[in-house]
Structures are given as C-alpha cells and as structure tokens.
Amino acid sequence: MPIHNFKVHGEKGPFLFLLHGWCCSHVFWRFQISQLASRFRVVTLDLEGHGLSAPPVDIRRLGIGRFAENVVAVADALQAKELVLMGHSMGGPIAIEAGLRLAGRCKFMLGVDTFTDAAFYQRRPPDEIELRVQKFAVHFEATMAKMVHNITTPETDPAIVTEIIDIMTHCDRHVALTALRSLLEWDIETRWPLLDVPVATINSAMLRGGTDLDLAGLDLHVMHDVGHFPMLESPDAFNSIAMTVLEKHGFG
C-alpha cells in the first residue's frame, strides 16, 4: 500500500487522524489544526485520488475499504499505537473500517455530520445507486454545486461555499463516481455492531430528518446554524464542541 500525502502537526499526545469526506481534502480541517495540535499529534492526509495524493493505480479497487487501508498504512508508517479517528461525512465510514482494521490501536472515533443519515450510510437499493451515480456522471460540476448549496446554510460565508464547490468539482470525476458508488453500497448497520470502541458524532441540526438511523451507543451531539461542513462554516463553535467531546471521552 503506497503512503499518500500526509502531515503530522504537534509533538505530544495520542495521534488524532482527521479524515476528509467525499471529493474533499486535508484543507477542510485547516481551522482545527492549531487548537488540536496543542493536545494531540494531529495527522492530516489526503485519501487516494484526493487532494495532493497520487491518482489510484487501479480505480476499480477504490472505495471505502481501500481508503481505510490508506489510513492504516499511515498509522503503520507512524508506528501509532494509540490513536483517535475523526471523520467527516464519508470519512465516518472510512473511520469505522480503519478502526476495525486497527483493532486495539484505535481508542475512540468522532464523526462530523456522518453515520446517522440512512440515505448515505445504510446500503441503498441498486436502482437508487445507479440513479444517484448517473446524476453526477451526466452533469458533474452542476450537480456538485447544487448539492453544496443545498447542504450549507444561507448564512455560510459565500467564499467558503465557493471554495468547497471548487475543491469538490476538481476531484477526478472517475474517482468521485467510484467512491460515491462504494459509499452507497456500504452498510453501517452490518459494520456498527462490530465496533468495540466508543463513538460520538457532531451532526448538523439542519440536515437531520425522519430517516435518521438509531445506532446503539452513539454519543450524538447536534450543532445548530451550520450545514454539512461545520468545521468550515462555524470553526470556533465546532472546535469548542469537538474539544468538549474529546475531553468527555478521556482525550485532551
């Protein structure tokens, strides 16, 4: 497994891996690094085919499991014996898969607007998957931009919205479609019972709905006045909640 683009911030404490979401990159965490690095060795990375990482050698192998292997490869390279995984959006399922592969080395998982939305984290019917993938395949940039506008608040800084759209639309289209298909085929309900570490998540109140999954033992924190990217939309408020959750679970 090649080691993809990563960087360690901070010199003490357990390793804290920040896992970005679909079509995103390590820069989505830039407002968190300074505060977190005072208590953790913060690891930012770009998953295979994203950000500054190399394109996948075999795109057919790309998916949630492969991205989890990226994380494990970095953990092994750093000889990280105790770590926390924080995953945004698709980074949540990746954290689960990486945590299962890391066994006793992963001590805690913290999601960011992830895990509970059945439309993304419960395995979807094949016909639905095809329809959703094809919408992006036919009109990639326009569909992505519309999605970002729909999942950020009207009050979100327009410059942040523009940046999110720019980064996500510049993700390789084949990488994006393959990753999306893998995400929609993944099923949290079969993987969740295998976890033996505490898991919390900070989710947007705006995006919660009647189809949210009830996951046993999940420590759910709801954040108001933000959309799907709380760490960018309201970084100070998000950082405060994240540090409180980490402290509650014995970190920080």
Answer whether 120's CB lies under 8 Å from 151's CB.
no
Q: What distance in Å separates the CA atoms of residue 82 and residue 75, rounded to the nearest whole number?
A: 9
CA gap 211, 68 in Å, rounded: 26
- Percent share of the chain, pLDDT over 90: 92
Round to whole Å and give the CA distance between 37 and 190: 34
Whether the pLDDT of residue 186 is over 80: the answer is yes
Q: How far apart are CA 75 and CA 116, in angstroms?
A: 26
CATH 3.40.50.1820 for domain 6-248, yes or no, is: yes
Name the band, by pLDDT with cuts 50, 70 and 90, for residue 103: confident
- Mean pLDDT of all residues in 218-247: 98
Q: Which residues pair with 199 in a beta bridge?
A: 109
Q: What pTM, to 2 d.p., does this model score?
A: 0.97
Q: How many helices (H) and strands (E) does the chain have?
A: 11, 7
What is the mean predicted confidence (pLDDT) over 170-177? 97
**171 is written with which tokens?**
């993700």
Kindly state the tokens that stand for 191. 């993987």
Pairing outcome for strands 106-112 and 199-204? parallel
Name residue 185's beta-bridge partners: none
pLDDT (tens digit, 9 = 90+) per residue, 44-91?
999 999 999 988 888 888 999 999 999 999 999 999 999 999 999 999
Tokens of 192: 């969740």
Dihedral (CA of 160, 25, 40, 66) sign: positive
Q: How confident is the model at residue 98 (pLDDT cuts 50, 70, 90)?
A: very high
pLDDT tens track for 110-162: 999 999 999 999 999 999 999 999 999 999 999 999 999 999 999 999 999 99
CA quadruple 182, 231, 238, 234: dihedral sign: negative
Taking 80 as the threshold, does the pLDDT of residue 2 lie above it? no
Query: What is the model's pLDDT at position 101?
Result: 98
What average pLDDT does the structure give for the chain?
96
Torsion angle, CA of 13/6/49/191, rounded to 10 degrees?
-20
Instruction: Say how far apart CA 179 and CA 181 lie, in whole Å.
Output: 5
